Structure 1
C-alpha cells in the first residue's frame, strides 16, 4: 500500500514538473501598438474583443486594426489560447460565423513577428502580438500576455 501511495506521489510530481517545463518553454508574448499610438495599456478582454472582431476601436475611440501571425504559427495558437481561451478549431468556428453573418472579417495575417512589428510601427491604428524579444523602439507593449 505504501508503494502505491509513493508511486502516485511520484506521478503527480512528474506531471507538475512537466507542466512547469511547458510553461517555461512558452514564449513571452506582448501585444503591441505603434510608438505613435497614445494607448499605454490594454486589458486582456479589450485585446480579445479587438482580435475577435467584437470591437473595432481602442478605448480612446481611435480605430483599431488587428494583425495576426500566419495560420498554424505556434505563437498565434498560444496568443489565442491565453487571451481569448480559444483553440484553433474554436477560432475557425468563430470567424466562420462572423463572416457568414456579415459581422466581420478575421485580421489580416503576416508571416512572422518581424513583419507584424513593421506593420504596426508604420500604422498608429494597428495592433499586433509578437515575442517579447522582437520588441524595439518603433512599437510599445500594451499588454504582456501571461
Structure 2
C-alpha cells in the first residue's frame, strides 16, 4: 500500500512538471530580449512594463474558461482564477494597474503577437507556428 501511494505521488509530480509543456509562451519573432520565467510572471502581473532590452511590453491573455489560461496562471503565475481576479480588482480600484488585453482564441493571440513586435502571449503548444517565437 505504501509503495502504491509513493508511486501515485511520483506520477502526479511528473505530470505537474510536464504539464506546462502544453502551454507555449510566445513573442514576435523580431523580439531579441532575454525572457525568464520570472520575467513572464512579472509581465502578466503588471509588474514589468518593459522587456530587459528596454522595449515596452504588451501582454495578451486568453479569455477565462480556456484551459490554457488556467494552466498558465496555475503553473507559471502561481495563482488560481479567483486569486488573479482579486489581484487585478485591487490594482484597478487603486489605479495602479490594468490587466492584459484578452483575446478569444489561440489563433487571435498568434495573429496579435505576430503583428505586434512588443507583444507576449501564451497558447496551446500544439498551435505554435512560424509566425511567432516560443520563449518558454
Same fold? TM cut 0.5: yes
| Aligned-pair Cα RMSD in Å | 1.9
Q: How many residues were matched structurally?
A: 136
Displacement over 6 Å in runs of 4+ = none
Q: Unpaired runs of 5+ in structure 2?
A: none
Instruction: Answer yes or no: is 1:17 the counterpart of 2:11.
Output: yes
Aligned pairs (5 A) from 1:1-146? 7-20=1-14, 28-39=22-33, 41-143=34-136
CA shift digits 1:44-89 (9 cap, x unpaired): 1111111111111111111101000111211101111121111111
Which structure would you say has the larger Rg?
1
Q: CA deviation at 1:23?
A: 5.8
TM-score under structure 1 normalisation?
0.82
TM-score under structure 2 normalisation?
0.88
CA distance in 2, matches of 1:135, 1:110: 16
Q: Unpaired runs of 5+ in structure 1?
A: 1-6
Q: CA deviation at 1:29?
A: 1.6
